[in-house]
Amino acid sequence: MLKELSIENLAVIESAVIPLEKGFNVFTGETGAGKSILIHGIQAVLGQRTSKDLVRTGCKKAVISALFSSISDESRFVLQEYGMECDDDELLLMREISADGGSIGRINGKTAPAALLRALGETLVNIHGQHDNQILLRPERHLDVLDQFGEDSSLLNEYRREFRQLQSCARALTQLKKTEQEKLNRLRTLQSVIAEIGELDPQPQEDILLDEQYQAATRAEETAAAAETVCQMLIKGEENISDALSASCEQLDRLADSEPDAEPLAERLRALNIELRDIADDISAFTGGQLSPAEFDKLNDRRNAVNSVAIRYHTDADGLRTIYEDALKEVEKIESDADCLTQLSQERAERLHRVSELAKQLTAHRQKLAEVFSKRVAEELSELNMPKVKLSVAFSQGKLTPSGMDRAEFLISANPGEPPKPIAQIASGGELSRLMLALKAVLAECDSVPTLIFDEIDTGVSGKAAQKIGRKLKELSVHHQVICVTHLAQLATQATHHLLIEKHSTDSSTRTSVTVLDDKARIMEIARIMGGDDSSALLLQTAEEALRSSVSPEIT
């Protein structure tokens, strides 16, 4: 519950510390005293959008603090989602609004984003102003109200869980179908890659090995050619050196009879010829390592094929192997996606059937719920001086949504025998306020938000109707802390804690104060509300009796 509200430099409020109690708290004061500023302050500290115009003229910033006690598990869960903890049973929320337009939020002294304040505020306070009556005028909100009335939300939660899974399955299926043509085109490309590289079947580092073999074969050809040329010159050719040496030996042999020195020279030439032939034999060994023409052509063709494909794919032989293996894996995935498409289509059909069945169960559950809800609302309206008004729920079915396939609209019949019509067509402002209060009363026991704030819930009502609204707010305060801003004595007398908002003006400034009223001051304020500032003794007596009667049995 909201234990204390502190405001500094917010509009006409210079400084105010406002204690609040369990039960029914009421704020009263003259028109323009600043009652609405309190609501703005609470909204600001709960993370709602603020304006620098709220900062008191001449001040650098406005500061609003709200102290909450008896913190619920829902509030603690929100804090945990944002990485914060609540070590004790109190929370201090604060919002600073700078005159330059910026703002800072804090929770227990730690800086907190406005989003956290808003999320936390939804678990702490429910503010009902005149604009909240729009819920009644917007049929799209009626189904939420009806579901809130049904305390057991297990069926709705199960439906929503199944619906989310259906959505996820449908999105995956849509994405698969969307890329199906792209995958077919990709599949054709991959199959071409697999066929080309697979037929080539490049081996690890084959391009390097082929280059080495090609260079070796080329060198072998060059070596053999050179060796053959030398051999031709030494021993094989028509005019080779060996034959010339043999002929020279024969000529020297003929001179030996006449020239004794010729014979040793001939022997030397014969020895040289033998050495020459040995050298030629050794050189002939160089011609044995070359490939045959067919073998060399085969090697060259393979080398060109591997290099050509490698250049086309901007890689080497090892890279070609990787591309080939990756293509095989991608083809396998694409083909498995095709199987997945079939499986997803089947899964979607099964989930759609499941969700449709749950939606039908949800519809039947809501229709039964609507009967009880309408009866309860009618009972509350009767207590609020609207005994002839009957509320009914009109259902229609449409496509599946996160809330089911139902559309619900609240209809009211203002008088017996009149057909029910949409609320917007027949309800006045005062009737809307009482309808909304009736809904709050019906939902009170299942609403986990501890603090309810009503801003001028009494607009458009008076007399006995207003008194019954006051009694109804007091009943709500059994389950919730109720805070109400009002201008009617019938509501103020029902409160258990009464605060007065007063505006004080001088020639140079205006400020607003908030005072907790004791019994005597409260009688004076009730009398003022009833008859103005000139409170007669009779009026004071009437006010006192009205306060005493607030604890008596309810008016019928």
The yes-or-no verdict on residue 132 having pLDDT over 70 is no
Q: What is the pLDDT of residue 130?
A: 52
Question: How far is residue 53's CA from residue 12's CA, in Å, rounded to a whole number?
Answer: 11
Q: What is the pLDDT of residue 288?
A: 66
Amino acid at 275: E
384: its two tokens: 């609020």
Which of the pair, 336 or 268, is modelled with greater confidence? 268
Q: What is the pLDDT of residue 436?
A: 80
Q: ∠ at Cα 445 (442, 448), nearest 5°?
A: 120
Question: How far is residue 146's CA from residue 81's CA, in Å, rounded to a whole number?
Answer: 28
Q: How confident is the model at residue 554 (pLDDT cuts 50, 70, 90)?
A: very low
Question: How far is residue 497's CA from residue 26's CA, in Å, rounded to a whole number?
Answer: 6
Phi, psi of 112 (to 5 degrees): -140, 140
Q: What is the pLDDT of residues 32-83, one digit of tens each?
A: 667 778 888 999 999 888 888 889 988 999 999 999 998 988 899 899 888 8
Q: What is the pLDDT of residues 498-514, one digit of tens each?
A: 999 988 877 777 788 88
Amino acid at 447: D
Question: How far is residue 234's CA from residue 317's CA, in Å, rounded to a whole number?
Answer: 46
Q: Characterise 37 by phi-psi region: left (phi > 0), alpha (psi -120 to 50), beta (else).
A: alpha
Proportion of the chain above pLDDT 70, given as a percent: 95
Question: How far is residue 450's CA from residue 291's CA, in Å, rounded to a whole number?
Answer: 98
Question: How far is residue 1's CA from residue 360's CA, in Å, rounded to a whole number?
Answer: 39
The yes-or-no verdict on residue 95 having pLDDT over 90 is yes
Question: Quick one: DSSP state of residue 391?
Answer: E
Q: What is the mean pLDDT of the chain?
A: 86
Instruction: Output the CATH code of domain 2-129+420-549.
Output: 3.40.50.300
Question: How far is residue 465's CA from residue 389's CA, in Å, rounded to a whole number?
Answer: 14
Give the mean model confidence (pLDDT) for residues 300-318. Answer: 91
Distances (CA, A) of 131 to 8, 77, 136, 138: 27, 29, 10, 12
Question: How far is residue 549's CA from residue 556's CA, in Å, rounded to a whole number?
Answer: 14
The yes-or-no verdict on residue 87 having pLDDT over 80 is no
Question: What is the edge-to-edge ordering of all strands in the sheet holding 110-112?
Answer: 13-19, 2-10, 61-69, 90-98, 103-107, 110-112
The yes-or-no verdict on residue 466 having pLDDT over 90 is no
Are the CB atoms for 66 and 451 separated by under 8 Å?
no
Q: What is the pLDDT of residues 238-256, one digit of tens each?
A: 778 888 888 888 888 888 7
CB burial readout 465-474, b (16+ within 10 A) else e: bbbbbbbbbb
Give the mean model confidence (pLDDT) for residues 408-432. Answer: 81
Question: How far is residue 197's CA from residue 317's CA, in Å, rounded to a whole number?
Answer: 10
Q: How confident is the model at residue 492 (pLDDT cuts 50, 70, 90)?
A: very high
Q: What is the pLDDT of residue 284?
A: 74
The yes-or-no verdict on residue 471 having pLDDT over 60 is yes
The yes-or-no verdict on residue 162 having pLDDT over 90 is yes
**One-character DSSP codes across 60-126:** SEEEEEEEEES--HHHHHHHHHTT----SSEEEEEEEEETTS-EEEEETTEEE-HHHHHHHHHHHEE
497: its two tokens: 């804690």
| Nearest alpha carbon to residue 415 among 383, 447, 387, 448 | 387
